Amino acid sequence: MRYCALASGSNGNCYYVAKDDTAILVDAGINNKHIHLRMSSLGIMPSHIKALFITHEHSDHIQGLSVFAKRYQIPVYITAGTLAGSRLNLPDHLVRIILPQEVVQIGPLTIYGIPKYHDAKEPCSFMISDGKLNIAVLTDLGRVCDNVKTAIKHADVLFLESNYDEEMLDKGRYSYYLKNRIRSGWGHISNAASLQAFLENRSSRLKHLILGHLSGENNRIELVQETFEPHCGDIRLSIANRYEHTAMFEISTAEVHVERLVIVEETEEMQRIVTSERIEIRG
Ligand SMILES: [Zn+2]
Ligand SMILES: [Zn+2]
């Protein structure tokens, strides 16, 4: 599977996941000029994007959606609440209404909807699986609920929000109202909460942690790096910055099996766990 963040931050979000010639985007929250520039710089063909999955109606997640979907006639998987909460100008034939906990198959990819706490009408996160590897995209998390924990436990690749530094938010210039909105349990999670979620829920299958949705006002890349780096061990750590796409990453089953075979005693057991895996997400 290949994956990257075309954009990640409180100024715009767009995540790409692909298997062979089938790709999907989670959110399209940057304008089309930037979507195209970044896709072409990473060698992504828009014609390979088979579906758009939308987490919620905030503009940093849908800004470029209508134009992009219409231009390439790509179906948009979106909850009724998100659609109602947005002023999207989408033709009916491109709209696919989903429940926040829906499971959708797009070619070789299975996309799990994951309901979440966020100050939007009917928000959800998504985990994308090819049946063996799971890539979770978890941003705009009001809190680390059981669904978030479950997704982290099953992730081989984890895009995780690390939105703000508590002290920077506290001392920063945001209004009292906005500060409280962010930390209300319906806004975003801090670097500390994100680290705790990672430490308490990561499993031995996690290979790559990509932190994202950083606040421009209340966070710094170096701070996120310092917070997580000492805890990552063998897990690859990347931090998406607000101004450019990440690299295109790739993870293959072969790589995972080789690494799992290192622990000979556990190999059979772990493969059994992988193949018999059922992801329980609560609606
Ligand atoms: Zn957002
Ligand atoms: Zn949001």
219 alpha carbon – ligand 1 mean position (Å): 14
45-101 tens-digit pLDDT = 999 999 999 999 999 999 999 999 999 999 999 999 999 999 899 999 999 999 999
25 alpha carbon – ligand 1 mean position (Å): 15
Rounded distance between C-alpha atoms, residue 20 and residue 281, angstroms: 27
146 backbone dihedrals φ, ψ, rounded to 5°: -60, -35
Give the number of whichever ligand sits closest to the CA of residue 10.
1
120 alpha carbon – ligand 2 mean position (Å): 7
pLDDT at 215 over 90: yes
pLDDT at 174 over 50: yes
DSSP string, 91-145: -GGGEEEE-TT-EEEETTEEEEEEE---SSSS-EEEEEE-SS-EEEEE-S-SS--
DSSP string, 186-203: SS--BHHHHHHHHHHH--
pLDDT at 37 over 70: yes
144 alpha carbon – ligand 2 mean position (Å): 15
pLDDT at 253: 79
161 alpha carbon – ligand 1 mean position (Å): 9
Give the number of whichever ligand sits closest to the CA of residue 13.
1
Give the number of whichever ligand sits closest to the CA of residue 163.
1
Rounded distance between C-alpha atoms, residue 170 and residue 146, angstroms: 27
pLDDT at 275 over 80: no
pLDDT at 170: 95
39 alpha carbon – ligand 2 mean position (Å): 23
Give the number of whichever ligand sits closest to the CA of residue 58.
2
Determine if the pTM surpasses 0.95: no
243 alpha carbon – ligand 2 mean position (Å): 18
Q: Which domains does the chain have, with CATH numbers?
A: 2-275 (3.60.15.10)
